Structure 1
Amino acid sequence: MMRRILILWSFVLCAVLEAAAQKPLYIVNGTPCERIDLIPPEDIESVESLPADERSIARYGEGASNGVILITLRYDQPAAFPSDSTYSQYIARRVVWSDTDPVARVILRYKILTDGRAVVDQELEVTDNRLKRRILKVMEEAPRWQPAQKNGVPVESEGVLRIQLPEGRRMPRQAELVYR
């Protein structure tokens, strides 16, 4: 009898843990989506959480039995850069920075305007102004983006450009003063 109770209890516990591990149904701009971790937070306009009730299940199907997260993006179609690589890779390949130059990093927030130009919106980190100037020059010469679209109309979007050169080398640690 005791063994039967233990088996039943472990079955119930497994079922509870499995249900707790289930994730909600994600709906991005009206389309079910498996992964939302790749969506840049700055592209999200709103997030709404729906409970796992009869109404949600009737509307979205059995996938809604763990709740529904509705995500509305600032666009229907994301901006696209006309290259076979990411924007950061494209810029980094075109910046002239030799292996004898010091390791430097530049992180910039940029906007993609409705005409497809990428312009710097904010400097987040600059360890060498020479690298920043070279990156800005390459950005000006880069091909224009296909801007993001909302209801068929171009809209502004944002991105973050992270470049550390020379590639494969680590940034040196900053010296720290310790007072005793």
Structure 2
Amino acid sequence: MTETTTEGTAQAPPRREAFRLAEAPLLHETGMMSMPVLTPEAPEQFLEWAMGGGQVVRVLFGDPESGGTSLVWSRFSPGYVLPRHSHSADCLYYVARGELRMGNTVLGEGDGFFQPADRPYTYTAGPDGVEVLEFRTTSPFDMRITESLAGWGRVVDAVRANRDDWAAQPRA
């Protein structure tokens, strides 16, 4: 069976595709997310955070060329602080394991949240870490880090306090 596009050419219908976490590429290997933009600039703090470990992000499904649906799996180690940031696409987050803290809100296994595009957010992984699934209706997206200079202190303090423990954990 074929489908006809608006231009009148025949196109094969989408095929079912399976994906496996063990085979999923790391996000930075896919070209799905552009390099983060920092506002205000905090290059020293950003580098310490980026090189501090404590996180693994893999693309389970998505293609930046086609622009279609994407699914990203992320694991953040205990105490990991995600700096305040936003993405250019709406995202539905599902907590698969562990918990995260967003201000006074604690979300655990089976919980989730919807984050509108271009709306900044931050969270901290719970005492056992957190694994989240990120569902987007598009594959390519950006990251704008808008952490305050004072907020970077909290982020970098978490890296310094946990770096050795995070390094001892498996990368998945």
With normalisation by structure 1, the TM-score equals 0.23
State which structure, 1 or 2, has the greater radius of gyration over its C-alpha atoms: 1
Structure with the higher helix share, 1 or 2: 1
Specify which structure has the bigger relative contact order, considering alpha-carbon pairs within 8 angstroms and separated by 6 or more residues: 2
Structure with the higher strand share, 1 or 2: 2
